[in-house]
Structure 1
Amino acid sequence: MELRKYDIVHLSAEAELESGGIHPCYEILFISSGSAHLRWMGKDYRVQAPALFLLAPNTPHTLISERSSPCSFLYLELGVESAAAFPGLPQQRDWNMLQTSEERLKPGLASVYTTAHSLLETLSPQSPFAAVAEQIAQLDIRKILLLIGCYFLPASEADRLTGSRLEQPEASERIRTLMRNLESTYFEPHTVNQLAASAHLDVSYFIRQFRSITGKSPLKYLQDLRMNAAAWFLSTTQKPVQEIASATGFQSVHYFSRLFKMTYGVSPSEWRKRETRV
């Protein structure tokens, strides 16, 4: 995502002033203080800060300050990699209309405006992070768009998700929990059937899902944990190779040594001579 142009603008309350235009890029407009009146896509949006608008490319817009209150705002013109990185026009309309209601202030949306205020501070001329302000700003912009995307997710996705697709995130989370457990119990005996049962998943489905998450089979993932632990023990302790093999879950020191050499290209004793840190 490219930050093409941005500015922080203060409109006086002494008279109605207008700001706006048309741009060949996406734009985020954040009203940080005061009240304002936005004209966009044939609609009028009268808002009190905080309010954040999403504007599609090549759509004329005008922001008018209200005489009753000074208005400060931040605008950001964005170059995005693809249209998918920015909410679509129907979502922009719904989101912008939301800015005119008190619903925008409900707790679930507070992070959007908190992040926008952080963005404003980062891009302020007084920011202590001026040298890296744009890089930090890009992170906050992505966060804002992700948060807005989450707001629309239930409405846009729930109806078209099938039962099997609804189960997938739950299965994924169970597998990730299992992976964390393996990190603590890698030295214990494990079988694929036992791992699948502990995740409450069919064995074949468990293996496919595990591989899609890690790029490895469950046993290869476990083997790599054991090999990493063994390499560390060899480098940092004087424990005998047989004891290290047992401590990392191998019943046979000969199988352990053969597998270690296949993994690292040298035997455990040669590894210890080369990599010792004691």
Structure 2
Amino acid sequence: MRLRNHGFADKAGKPGERAGGVHPYWELLCILEGEAELEWSGVTYNASGTALFVLMPNTPHQLVQRSRTLRYWYAEFHAGDGDPLPAADVIFRWNALQGGIDWTAEPYPALRAAFDATGLLLRSEASLRWDRFPEAVLADLTKLLVLTGSLAAASRPAPARSSGELLATEALRFLESMFPQPITLQTLADYTHYNPSYLVRLFKKHTGKTPFGYLNELRLSAAADYLLRSDMTVLRVSLACGFQSIHYFSRSFKRRYGLAPSEWRRAMRG
């Protein structure tokens, strides 16, 4: 693991101010005080008071301030093969918990103490030796990743089985969380524990769309965000959003937005 960028923000400003973007690094984002929304990978997560988000590389993210004051820290880092990184489904499940955690109740106080300590360390950078500071921060980040992965894995809800509407909601959340990954109908059926053809009928009944029609919309929306806010190539955008063929991506994008990806980017950026 190698530290790339970090910071501590104590902001007094107008609600609606934004910070973020996209980068090829892992990131931990910790809200310490105030209210905010995190827009990440096509989903909006609410954070009030305290929250800890894990962000994967190449995923667009925007932190939207919702209170007049907001305190948070962030740390971006390169990860190696041996680093304790949670799996993608665990990360999405963990981020979805933010905004609803009682940090005074077990098993969360240990994690709360750990990210409070990380924030204190980041604020004290100027008083520490420059050559040992990254090592100390990375030790804290490693601890946070281990604790986060453990707590998220233990919080997995049982698959919804009670009604077609709940099944559709479960499938929607899965697609919204996992859209950059290769997904087949069997993947979705295995996750929900329903017959594939029955799943498609119920999903369309309750959403008006097929699962893969909805998945394609998610991927195209994420692609538009990448094209607008980053300098990633069209090929990288295509792959980051789950398209296995750049030609299929370009055709799908033009059908939805009226222009090819590169043309749309130029038009939107003026």
Question: Structure 1 length as normaliser, TM-score?
Answer: 0.51
1:145 partnered with 2:145: yes
Q: Helix, strand or coil: the match of 1:107?
A: coil
Which whole-Å CA distance do the structure 2 matches of 1:46 and 1:153 have between them?
21
Q: Helix, strand or coil: the match of 2:107?
A: helix
Which whole-Å CA distance do the structure 1 matches of 2:96 and 2:9 have between them?
23
Residue-pair matches, total: 155
Which whole-Å CA distance do the structure 1 matches of 2:30 and 2:153 have between them?
22
Residues 3 and 75, structure 2, Cα contact 8 Å, conserved in 1: yes
Residues 25 and 56, structure 1, Cα contact 8 Å, conserved in 2: yes
Which whole-Å CA distance do the structure 2 matches of 1:87 and 1:118 have between them?
21
Residues 91 and 152, structure 2, Cα contact 8 Å, conserved in 1: no
Residues 26 and 77, structure 2, Cα contact 8 Å, conserved in 1: yes
Which of the pair has the greater relative contact order for Cα pairs under 8 Å at 6+ separation? 2
Which whole-Å CA distance do the structure 1 matches of 2:73 and 2:155 have between them?
29
1:119 partnered with 2:118: yes
Question: CA 1:18/1:130 → structure 2, altered by over 3 Å: closer, same or farther?
Answer: farther
Q: Counterpart in 1 of 2:75?
A: 76
Q: Counterpart in 2 of 1:8?
A: 8
Cα offsets for 1:90-117 (capped at 9, x unmatched):
1111111111213455321122221111
Q: Percent identity?
A: 26
Question: CA 1:83/1:94 → structure 2, altered by over 3 Å: closer, same or farther?
Answer: farther
Q: Counterpart in 2 of 1:229?
A: none
1:22, distance to aligned residue in structure 2 (A): 0.3
1:36 partnered with 2:20: no
Which whole-Å CA distance do the structure 1 matches of 2:15 and 2:137 have between them?
32
Q: Helix, strand or coil: the match of 1:77?
A: strand
Gaps of 5+ in 2: 157-270
Question: CA 1:123/1:89 → structure 2, altered by over 3 Å: closer, same or farther?
Answer: same
1:127, distance to aligned residue in structure 2 (A): 5.6
Residues 123 and 134, structure 1, Cα contact 8 Å, conserved in 2: no
Residues 22 and 58, structure 1, Cα contact 8 Å, conserved in 2: yes
Cα offsets for 1:224-263 (capped at 9, x unmatched):
xxxxxxxxxxxxxxxxxxxxxxxxxxxxxxxxxxxxxxxx
1:10, distance to aligned residue in structure 2 (A): 2.8
1:107 partnered with 2:106: yes
Which whole-Å CA distance do the structure 1 matches of 2:64 and 2:145 have between them?
25
**One-letter amino acid of the structure 1 residue matched with residue 119 of structure 2:** L
Q: What pairs with 1:112-261 in structure 2 (closer than 5 Å)? A: 112-125=111-124, 128-131=127-130, 132-154=132-154
Which whole-Å CA distance do the structure 1 matches of 2:117 and 2:141 have between them?
10
1:82, distance to aligned residue in structure 2 (A): 2.1
Residues 38 and 45, structure 1, Cα contact 8 Å, conserved in 2: yes
1:44, distance to aligned residue in structure 2 (A): 1.0
1:89, distance to aligned residue in structure 2 (A): 1.4
Question: CA 1:129/1:23 → structure 2, altered by over 3 Å: closer, same or farther?
Answer: same
Cα offsets for 1:147-194 (capped at 9, x unmatched):
1122145468xxxxxxxxxxxxxxxxxxxxxxxxxxxxxxxxxxxxxx
Cα offsets for 1:205-232 (capped at 9, x unmatched):
xxxxxxxxxxxxxxxxxxxxxxxxxxxx
Question: CA 1:2/1:126 → structure 2, altered by over 3 Å: closer, same or farther?
Answer: closer
Q: Helix, strand or coil: the match of 1:8?
A: strand
RMSD of aligned C-alpha atoms? 2.1
Cα offsets for 1:124-149 (capped at 9, x unmatched):
14664344322111111111111112
Question: CA 1:127/1:109 → structure 2, altered by over 3 Å: closer, same or farther?
Answer: farther
Residues 11 and 71, structure 1, Cα contact 8 Å, conserved in 2: yes
**One-letter amino acid of the structure 2 residue matched with residue 109 of structure 1:** Y
Residues 29 and 75, structure 1, Cα contact 8 Å, conserved in 2: yes
**One-letter amino acid of the structure 1 residue matched with residue 112 of structure 2:** Y
Which whole-Å CA distance do the structure 2 matches of 1:76 and 1:122 have between them?
12
**One-letter amino acid of the structure 2 residue matched with residue 129 of structure 1:** L
1:16, distance to aligned residue in structure 2 (A): 2.2
Question: Structure 2 length as normaliser, TM-score?
Answer: 0.53
Cα offsets for 1:1-35 (capped at 9, x unmatched):
11111111233243421000001011100111111
Which whole-Å CA distance do the structure 2 matches of 1:11 and 1:83 have between them?
36
